[in-house]
Amino acid sequence: MADVLKRLSDEMADVVDTAGASVVRVEARRRLPASGIVMAADGVIVTASHVVEREDNIDVGLPGGEAVSAKLVGRDATTDLAVLRAEAGGLTPAAWADMDSLRVGNLALALGRPGRTVQATLGVVSALGAEWRTHAGGKIDRYLQTDVVMYPGFSGGPLVGAGGAVLGLNSSALLPGVSVAVPVATLRGVAESLLAHGRVRRGYLGVGAQPARLPAAVAEQLGQETGLLIVSVEPDSPADKGGLTLGDTVVALAGNAVRHMDDLLAQLGGDVVGTGVPVRIVRGGQVQEAQVVIAERP
């Protein structure tokens, strides 16, 4: 038994050594430094957006101990991701895990480098789920929760599987009090968009809305009980230009039912920016349809 435990202990230490070569220190806020993950050997770093409080005078501490300056390429606060470009080369990019085989109960290590050396904490994958939206409206491809202790400075660092590959990026800001990680698919997709455009394009309708129950006759006609009641319309917004008005209830966008705000946000991806889409509304108890050209979210 002692031999088994020692072998497991040594193998986990090996995982930390291997994965730790891709973990850097990020100094971009007044308080304790945070962590980041090397995405490319030429200095591309991904970290948590909330730990990047300044856009200049950013320093990155490399695994070898030296410190280099870095610039902010772009950020997406809705998914709590930011991309930096450090003035360094020859870095070790992280290996990305295959999430398809991940199961609840699998071991996971959270790594961070708030100081000069890598730090680690052990836990298990405590919950997995479908895609979800953050309180800021960002789409996360998969819910990934662990019971690892998020020590100060670990935000922006990797969640690593038993094989040493990165499962996601740890964030203490997405769900306060819960250890969640931004999974690899979301991390890489957002990072690639930030590298290409400096931002993540998202659609924009320009309304304030809240869920509302539909009249019984309309609910039976549409086969849904709720829609989104428009409580405000921004001047010169796509909704305003498309004729939507206060008191309308949105029940579908581009043919997809809208029952809650998440349904609406899910339809406003970057791919619909600049396109005209039909918006089905209930106005005065009657189902009508308007055409709205989706703009890019400011």
Q: Is 50 among the residues known to form the active site?
A: yes
Residues 6 or more apart in contact with residue 105 via CB below 8 angstroms? 124, 125
User: What gap in Å lies between CA 75 and CA 92, rounded to an integer?
Assistant: 22
Q: 192 CB contacts (<8 Å, ≥6 apart)?
A: none
Phi, psi of 12 (to 5 degrees): -70, -40
Distance CA 232, CA 189 (A): 32
Hey, how many other C-beta atoms are within 10 angstroms of the C-beta on 264? 21
Other beta carbons within 10 angstroms of residue 55's beta carbon come to: 11
Unique residue bearing structure tokens 């396109």: 275
Rounded distance between C-alpha atoms, residue 196 and residue 199, angstroms: 8
155 labelled catalytic: yes
Per-residue b/e over 150-181, b at no fewer than 16 CB within 10 Å? Answer: bbebbbbbbbbbeebbbbbbbbbbbeeeebbb
Q: Are 185 and 277 in contact (CB under 8 A)?
A: no
Q: Are 213 and 251 in contact (CB under 8 A)?
A: no
Tokens of 257: 């039912």
Which of 35, 49, 50, 237 is the catalytic position?
A: 50
> Which alpha helices (DSSP H) does 151-297 contain, by range?
184-197, 216-222, 238-241, 261-267
From 35, 49, 155, 172, the catalytic residue = 155
How far is residue 254's CA from residue 223's CA, in Å, rounded to a whole number?
17
Which residues are part of the catalytic machinery?
50, 80, 155
